[in-house]
Structure 1
């Protein structure tokens, strides 16, 4: 799950998801009048090996690669190829075996994980249950500073019950825990190495010791991260075709465009819309659009914000020209959806039909209605009509989006002031209340890491969540979501979630903006990588290889 930037063996042949933009925005589809786009989950299977591939991280250099601490685009993009999790995310956002071959529940408070017995770390030492137990338990220690501490809230104990078996006991049943094993929380590091590295684990100085298809060989701060293929990788079907993978940190759109067009950079996820326009017609490579679990919305930063009143957020939603926004800001590469949780999150789930029925029952994406918006503002009668909204400095997409919202707000007596924050402050405000002082709202560029919408909804609706900045408290919603997490039957849990969703959609003060498609560019000599947003937690580079044009 992710807020401030805001869950895997794949078929041999790529699965393409084709969506047209002829859907009406009321159905949760793309706006009418936008260009048609084909969404691709996987690019064509690679046919050859390559000596070197250079990949870009357009959101900058990671601060850590420790799986316990990754939770953003750049670190996830690298770490997912280095440290295998117990379960694997697939390109359609479903989950399958990873380092754990199977799992079962003897009762509703016990989860038994059977581990592979043929896995070694990069140093040749075998992976055992002790490494798994240590990797999971260390995330509950304050010294680790894990971003996943909340995952352990329901856990009573984690024990090795065999050389290659781990048993987790719960205080209360928890249907989300298993799914968290497909992201950084479930990644396994060598216990002895991690203990020796201490707080430097995952840094340029401390290094890593994992089991993934690539192994970290170099980290030159401010310049590059280099990984080389693991020739002894346990998954023989995914032994990399790329011998050496180098990550660069080009954040300037113009520089990135030039580097991709010249072949200096071979590929990148999260291609900005301005760069996409320049790359779309180039002969250098292919720009892919993929299904995504990303979400863009505006949310209040505290209970004193004018936007903490759902009537104000509903009014802003009514003045937003979403069709024009998707065409002009996202260049047509986005969808209008009814909630701030993308439907791609649950489309690969066991209970997909139930989630789909619940989504269909939600109110339609609102058409523009300035008169209706004015009535809501008059009824709310906010003490302040000026709303200060934070975005990251240099984030042109958010700036353009807020400019659309700003124009609509002015028609209903609200003034939106856009405040651009430096990256550290923008990222930090999601975790540090003092950095939200003087702000009324933030433009959130989030994504949902797990194939379960419950994981994201809880962040904003449960009274105990540190992300519930406005102290939203709907007892019915809390009861339903709490029960949903404690319900192990997939259909029953989904039904409880959709019941809660229908309630919080009415009174949770959030302005859903759009669900952007994933944008990935591949040089013409490359293929094989997933184009869906699932790359964020899957070993995407292990699928990467040559097309034959420049393979070695």
Structure 2
């Protein structure tokens, strides 16, 4: 590859750019929605506001430690606290963050030039040592971090200047600069993190970061309050809200009432039932944005009869996805052919190759009960009801799983729905002991960065944290590694496409839909990004008053 290739400029053009004008909800074979309904941003908020109250419909976070967060609630909060080395924008493009420049000087050297003048909330300056410590603890087993795999190719992380950190790698890794825009690339103060120890990121241990808001208070079971960082380094993103209060509201009816009354100003992940009620009020507006979310039905462990791909194929054949999208998601979704929604690579230089490969996948099956019954007969016997998990209080999840339950009955498969408390549901994704006795999990997952190969690797390679059934296809692993390590975008896309052909038809997963982001704000405030990029950007810093 060419020397001194500055990745950030390339990543900005390789973000998921083609989203502002896309819209509509076509329930077809994964086609892009029609124009006019989806937006990435909302009108800027112009005035200062003392307080904004925001709901967390998935409940209280278990942690705000950037190394450990991997769910909706913690990411919604933490994205406003801890700045990342590169920054995601509302259109899924990337721009400089704490690193003003990210450069591959050769295939084994990634240089991060840090921004001068950045301080933590306590006024101390950001140093290379803080960056090194934040990255190194990702692969320290004591941290129990979720994203250590991003450093698999990194051999050393060292300070190479007063404001410079250099990563030496075994080879080129196109995932690394993209990952720096996620919580993996968030930087905390070394001294504070070491002193807090295992309590870092908890209600007791707190955080020390550089973001536009600082952690004010965390009252377990009640709420989290963020306070404005008046010394924030990014003068173009000085928060207008003095305080942001997060409330844990997992019941859909309670959430709807709070939004209608103005008790809560807004929320992401607005349930369809709430959207229907709020669409009739003049108190605010529902905003639809582009998303990389995927709705999947996944076995909880390898021992379950649900891990048999033949049984999953049978379930896939009796689920009417068009009806699911219409009745459960209010039409605000499209069908899904594989693990990753097409929006993930929309702005990639090799987008045409990705698109062609996705289009060549078999169409989403039409319901075929007789064919499904034959597959059930061939699969491992199912002598008991299959236990399927969703979060308690999640009306959308309950409706979707009830829909699947009714379809399964047509082929003689009984499904028992188990509602887990939000914290238990969140832990389920990372703790095998929580998945014991769970046959199926209805997941509302998401791709956090414009890189399909790294997301898929977590589900279909032996080292993947979401590979709960032990799926292992050496050729898939080899191709995904090639997609990750190729410096040629076309070669990377080709390798991913070949892997996609293999894992799509064999990995034990039922692909159901990709949903749009649904967000509500009342008319008192504006400015929140409408796209799913909010998960990895300081979205609350964009909020401001409207004067109404």
Superposition TM-score, scaled by structure 2 size: 0.92
Q: Which residue of 2 aligns with 1:131?
A: 130
Distance (Å, rounded) in 2 between the aligned partners of 1:467 and 1:24: 27
Deviations 1:353-408 (A, max 9, x none): 22212111111111112222223333436464743322223332222222222222
User: Do residues 20 (structure 1) and 24 (structure 2) align?
Assistant: yes
Q: Structure 1 residues 104 and 501, CA, compared in 2 at 3 Å: closer, same or farther? A: same
SS of 2:90's equivalent in the other structure is coil
Query: In the TM superposition, what are the counterparts of 1:3-402 in structure 2 within 5 Å?
Result: 16-21=20-25, 23=26, 25-29=28-32, 38-380=37-379, 382=381, 384=383, 386-402=385-401
Deviations 1:503-527 (A, max 9, x none): 1112112111111211111110211
Q: Structure 1 residues 350 and 239, CA, compared in 2 at 3 Å: closer, same or farther? A: farther
Q: Structure 1 residues 316 and 30, CA, compared in 2 at 3 Å: closer, same or farther? A: farther
Is 2:118–2:125's contact at 8 Å kept on the other side of the alignment? yes
Distance (Å, rounded) in 1 between the aligned partners of 2:403 and 2:199: 44
Distance (Å, rounded) in 2 between the aligned partners of 1:408 and 1:215: 47
- Unaligned ranges ≥5, structure 2: 1-10
Q: Which residue of 2 aligns with 1:526?
A: 525
Q: Which residue of 1 aligns with 2:404?
A: 405
Distance (Å, rounded) in 1 between the aligned partners of 2:425 and 2:82: 28
Query: In the TM superposition, what are the counterparts of 1:378-527 in structure 2 within 5 Å?
Result: 378-380=377-379, 382=381, 384=383, 386-527=385-526
Q: Structure 1 residues 280 and 463, CA, compared in 2 at 3 Å: closer, same or farther? A: same
Q: Which residue of 2 aligns with 1:4?
A: none
Distance (Å, rounded) in 1 between the aligned partners of 2:69 and 2:313: 34
Deviations 1:140-159 (A, max 9, x none): 22332322222222221100
Per mean C-alpha deviation after superposition, the further-off stretch among 322-331 and 347-356 is 347-356
SS of 1:168's equivalent in the other structure is strand
Distance (Å, rounded) in 1 between the aligned partners of 2:382 and 2:273: 39
Per mean C-alpha deviation after superposition, the further-off stretch among 139-148 and 321-330 is 139-148
Is 1:8–1:538's contact at 8 Å kept on the other side of the alignment? no
SS of 1:38's equivalent in the other structure is coil
SS of 1:438's equivalent in the other structure is coil
Q: Structure 1 residues 24 and 134, CA, compared in 2 at 3 Å: closer, same or farther? A: closer
Deviation of 1:288 after TM superposition, in Å, equals 0.7
Per mean C-alpha deviation after superposition, the further-off stretch among 284-293 and 119-128 is 119-128
Distance (Å, rounded) in 2 between the aligned partners of 1:94 and 1:411: 45
Distance (Å, rounded) in 2 between the aligned partners of 1:243 and 1:417: 46
Is 1:306–1:385's contact at 8 Å kept on the other side of the alignment? no
SS of 1:17's equivalent in the other structure is coil
Deviation of 1:238 after TM superposition, in Å, equals 0.7
Is 2:27–2:325's contact at 8 Å kept on the other side of the alignment? no
Distance (Å, rounded) in 2 between the aligned partners of 1:431 and 1:47: 41
Deviation of 1:347 after TM superposition, in Å, equals 1.5
Is 2:91–2:533's contact at 8 Å kept on the other side of the alignment? yes
SS of 2:505's equivalent in the other structure is helix
Deviation of 1:432 after TM superposition, in Å, equals 2.8
Q: Which residue of 1 aligns with 2:3?
A: none
Deviation of 1:38 after TM superposition, in Å, equals 1.0
Distance (Å, rounded) in 2 between the aligned partners of 1:369 and 1:110: 53
Distance (Å, rounded) in 2 between the aligned partners of 1:393 and 1:55: 20
- Unaligned ranges ≥5, structure 1: 1-6
Is 1:8–1:88's contact at 8 Å kept on the other side of the alignment? no
SS of 1:286's equivalent in the other structure is strand
SS of 2:513's equivalent in the other structure is strand
Q: Which residue of 1 aligns with 2:6?
A: none
Deviation of 1:99 after TM superposition, in Å, equals 0.7
Is 2:460–2:471's contact at 8 Å kept on the other side of the alignment? yes
Is 1:18–1:40's contact at 8 Å kept on the other side of the alignment? yes
Is 2:40–2:289's contact at 8 Å kept on the other side of the alignment? yes
Per mean C-alpha deviation after superposition, the further-off stretch among 170-179 and 385-394 is 385-394
Deviation of 1:44 after TM superposition, in Å, equals 1.2
Q: Which residue of 1 aligns with 2:536?
A: 537
Distance (Å, rounded) in 1 between the aligned partners of 2:33 and 2:318: 18
Per mean C-alpha deviation after superposition, the further-off stretch among 52-61 and 435-444 is 435-444
Deviation of 1:345 after TM superposition, in Å, equals 1.8
Q: Structure 1 residues 224 and 432, CA, compared in 2 at 3 Å: closer, same or farther? A: closer
SS of 2:22's equivalent in the other structure is strand
Deviations 1:80-102 (A, max 9, x none): 11110000111122222111111
Deviation of 1:418 after TM superposition, in Å, equals 2.2
Distance (Å, rounded) in 1 between the aligned partners of 2:332 and 2:503: 28
Deviations 1:110-129 (A, max 9, x none): 11111111211122222121
Distance (Å, rounded) in 2 between the aligned partners of 1:227 and 1:236: 19
Deviation of 1:428 after TM superposition, in Å, equals 2.9
